[in-house]
Structure 1
């Protein structure tokens, strides 16, 4: 939680301050007056998603986290269907299935290499992953809507504001003893800062990619992140190399390219079933009756 708190603080110092100096409808005060409660819910979803996924590693195995984290992709597609009116073709579902097959290959390689630990409470850890992945999906759908309909600065600025507040409160209530027990030195501080900077860059550049693609395609691409961590682990931690890792990377990339090869379409929101000319017809009928009454009155006189 502490490293996430640093990331939200960086977002606050950069993007929230940027909003504070803007004027008009894009200013910080104007946004807070109109949509403060919506961004509180968004900040809560994002903070808890980060917290639950990281917390899950304490209880369950690496294999379970890798597998169950993919649950966020179908949730994301379902939310995009109903909220963003995204409409998928058969090729998109096939591409997602191929990507998930690649993840399964990667997990199989982990099992063969025996890189997963046993976990202290697998059920609780698995529940954390499922809930965290669902919250990530909610956050990503909101992010896609905001960056495409509003602005990237508004999303990051408001997330930085409420993410800092929510994660700061949660940090004080739940992890202040753990933070106090850390034996700080320059190496530990450097690791925290490096992680926070990486997260800051991810949060800063991810909206740019989502704006030109979609949250689903970005999450499919992120599936390869475990493989990149593995490649670093080969040199840093002496992980056992397996050809299945290369195979899984290739399968995920094939699915990702296949998904991006065909754009999704956006359905228009359902219009009202009342014919658009109904109100005009009533008005015209009223005018006609009024004219008729006037003519009758004139003839009578």
Structure 2
């Protein structure tokens, strides 16, 4: 199992880094190439979503195609003000609606094919956020992606060492409040040493704001992780799919990023515009 996980990482990580850093950043061809890369991720995740959410019939079969078309249409509306509105709406979901969802444990099965709308609300803002953040530069996007990795690693090790108080035992029994605190501390340290100049106006932002952003994005990471765990537990699935050998599915790898990316993009666009 460990060997399979390592091989998958060794194959995928260079591909992702190559796409982030070496796909052209200017011109119509470069823009189309990066959109296509993000679109492939959206299609794979949407295929997993229709299985995870219990969608059925024709809607389930064509859902990945519909997602690709809708994503392509939205990419034609890449105006900063429109994007900021979309990112703020997605952020409100993760900050205000998601905690209520986790508390109430609303079942996906009750919505049937209407889960298509929820899937788009979860997936599409994250895909658009990848385009927004890469427009600030490859290092800016990578820095945001790394927050999920730092938060997850710090939470894992601190939870293993100190975890006593369960965070959400009925959703994800392995997570603890001590792990969350460790994740927050880890991301704050990461952000403290992060070169701020990779973000537009980043150097002008006081450190206290950066640390506050670290706390917000770590909280978003936890929310994204817990929500997918809830969905999988409700339907009795361990992984969203087997697309990534040893790692489960695409959504298993990007669950926290679904929340982090739109929140980070909203913060970036707000500072960029105002």
Asked if Structure 1 and Structure 2 have the same fold, meaning a TM-score greater than 0.5 normalized by the shorter chain, the answer is no
Q: Which has the larger radius of gyration?
A: 1
Per the shorter chain, which TM-score range? 0.3 to 0.5
Q: TM-score scaled to structure 1, two decimals?
A: 0.32
Q: Which has the higher contact order (CA 8 A, sep 6+)?
A: 1
Q: TM-score scaled to structure 2, two decimals?
A: 0.34
